[in-house]
Structure 1
């Protein structure tokens, strides 16, 4: 969602409401739109015709006649092939790019190993993916917008902090706005995970949710009254930087440490590798060690379970969400770990239900980015749009 909804004319507001009804209620007829918006038929017809002339609608069939008889209504839906958007997730060592039609249908997806490449080299890879989509994806109006998922702090169009990829001298927003002449949106990765839950997944009926994202770092996406909460300069949700007591057994004293230093996926892998004197350890290696009941691994996971449960509980107390979602590929591969986290939060007295974001829909941050840029290109920033689980062409 946008940081604020711009003022709009009464007429434009009504046009947006009609388009919102089509997106959220398809298949839908003009009669249904009029009833839902509590407008008379003639007003809706004028608005409907204008939205149709803009090319956003497509007829998909004939509905049933009313009990009093009369003509059967024409059913419409969003014209998904009006154009397409591209979403980019700038991961630590991977680049993820997804192309979507306006209804969220996945047109293309690519996962590219970037390794130690710098941002200049990575942008060349992004350009190649965008240029390929422009050359191959069939639509009426082509590329409509680009969204970036950033593993760092984003304040509107600027990246304030990017701890895993040096982007200090790069203005992604300006570069891609100038190069492709389309709207560009930048957003934090954890925030996009929350947007996915709100717009695509089972939080569509919830007004207040939190999504805790555990990858190389730890962040939280916060939805309050169905709006994304950014805080001052976009820094809300940086829970990985919060402090927690840690114990130094050699000094027999308490000390403070950042949560992400021992609760992120990288921290877990590095700790196990160090204790087992391994040069490196992957997520797959860790899963195998868990299957062998390795005690070193279990001790590290026990600390993680206790610590992350407390962090989730504290977030629950601070924001009082209806539900909390945990987005963690590592936890998803270790179901017993999620059960333990859920049990621990329950023991602490947490009221909201804790859910695990399933990766079966693909990369959730990309779909969250797809929703955000779709809102933007349709002029529906601040409007509540709800998408079905996307299909892939």
Structure 2
């Protein structure tokens, strides 16, 4: 009981910018002496800090001491191992961003990628001033991670059987968590944007592949073996009538590669596609229109499967050309009169990293399964 109460008190402190022992006692229905005892333990561990006096009650008396989570207790790291780049972020315990960056990992082996991760980790370990230093690391995987924290499917990066989690745990002796990239985007929306105000939601991430993260009753739904949300592998017919996974036709990379071939432009990238689309290039327009049609159907079907409150779309292509998102929204409404709420995420790479921050923080505080809401982003 003491351990459970301690977790609830810590959660309550974390989820409020400021609070007091009296407020915690009222909210949780715990005896004031119990809260004070737990608070003293947290204070001695330097997990919490005092930040001045609150208002006295209407009956007068001493002013209560305002308390909050001690952001300087330590920091977490998040890494997103994508096809071309390693994106990374360092956050203080309360989620405030210390630094966000990226490094190229084109044509690098998993051993080389791990070495880069270690160099970044060591750099922050040496430069971030905090009480306890590194508290945890979360790695975003563009593939399937099972319930044993094993990578069972990775279409873009060859992990060569290397147990990256065990390697990093042996090196840094902190929690190391692997999670699917789209799942982390869903965690970000739940913890940083909605802060548990929407119990059911779906995120769809469209990058090199297509994936979704599913939140049901405020919990991440991973399925029997971590395969839930693999919407990119949904079958659809191409122009020749052949059944293919939808991400082979309508991911961002699929569109770019198709246009590279059609236009004979080997150096074509997202910026070039958007430029030609805005200029009215007919071949680009055809490719984008097919993308709009297929993704709209995928979004609609996803909403029907899970009866979700909202669907959040993370797509660098749509960020560069917001009119594509607008056309998808209109197309979804045309499929059937419905109340699906579509929201376009901005800076979707950062969304994944902040989801990783939340996961690492939950593990560092031993509050896995406890709702933690993060404040404004820095």
Interval containing the TM-score (normalised by the shorter chain): over 0.9
2:256, 2:268 within 8 Å by CA — same for their partners in 1? yes
Report what 1:208 is aligned to.
Answer: 200
Residue 306 (structure 1) aligned with residue 293 (structure 2): yes
Q: In 2, distance between residues paired with 1:86 and 1:140?
A: 16
Q: In 1, distance between residues paired with 2:184 and 2:248?
A: 23
Report what 1:376 is aligned to.
Answer: 363
Match of 2:313 among 326, 331, 340: 326
Per the TM alignment, residue 168 of structure 1 is displaced from its structure 2 partner at its CA by: 2.9
- The DSSP-based 3-state class of the residue aligned with 1:75 is strand
- The DSSP-based 3-state class of the residue aligned with 1:354 is strand
Report what 1:292 is aligned to.
Answer: 279
Q: Residues 114-143 of structure 1: CA distance to partner in whole angstroms, max 9, x if unpaired? A: 211111111111111011111111110111
Match of 1:148 among 129, 139, 147: 139
The 5 Å alignment of 1:39-54 reads 39-54=30-45
Report what 1:96 is aligned to.
Answer: 87
1:201, 1:389 within 8 Å by CA — same for their partners in 2? no
Per the TM alignment, residue 203 of structure 1 is displaced from its structure 2 partner at its CA by: 5.6
Report what 1:217 is aligned to.
Answer: 209
Report what 1:241 is aligned to.
Answer: 233
Residue 352 (structure 1) aligned with residue 352 (structure 2): no
Q: Residues 196-244 of structure 1: CA distance to partner in whole angstroms, max 9, x if unpaired? A: 0000113631111100000000000001111111112111100000111
Residue 365 (structure 1) aligned with residue 344 (structure 2): no
Root-mean-square deviation (CA, aligned residues, Å) is 1.3
Q: In 2, distance between residues paired with 1:317 and 1:11?
A: 43
Q: Residues 38-73 of structure 1: CA distance to partner in whole angstroms, max 9, x if unpaired? A: 222222212222222222101112111111111111
Report what 1:185 is aligned to.
Answer: 177
Q: In 1, distance between residues paired with 2:259 and 2:196?
A: 38
Q: In 1, distance between residues paired with 2:237 and 2:275?
A: 30
Report what 1:317 is aligned to.
Answer: 304
Per the TM alignment, residue 91 of structure 1 is displaced from its structure 2 partner at its CA by: 1.0
Q: Where in structure 1 are there 5+ consecutive unaligned residues?
A: 1-9, 249-253
Q: In 2, distance between residues paired with 1:296 and 1:203?
A: 42
Q: In 2, distance between residues paired with 1:31 and 1:305?
A: 54
1:18, 1:47 within 8 Å by CA — same for their partners in 2? yes
Q: Residues 346-388 of structure 1: CA distance to partner in whole angstroms, max 9, x if unpaired? A: 112343200001118x611110000001001101000000001
Residue 64 (structure 1) aligned with residue 51 (structure 2): no
Q: Return the TM-score normalized by structure 1.
A: 0.93
Q: Return the TM-score normalized by structure 2.
A: 0.97
Per the TM alignment, residue 109 of structure 1 is displaced from its structure 2 partner at its CA by: 2.1
1:270, 1:280 within 8 Å by CA — same for their partners in 2? no
Q: Where in structure 2 are there 5+ consecutive unaligned residues?
A: none
1:85, 1:145 within 8 Å by CA — same for their partners in 2? yes
Of 200-209 and 135-144, more deviation after overlay is shown by: 200-209
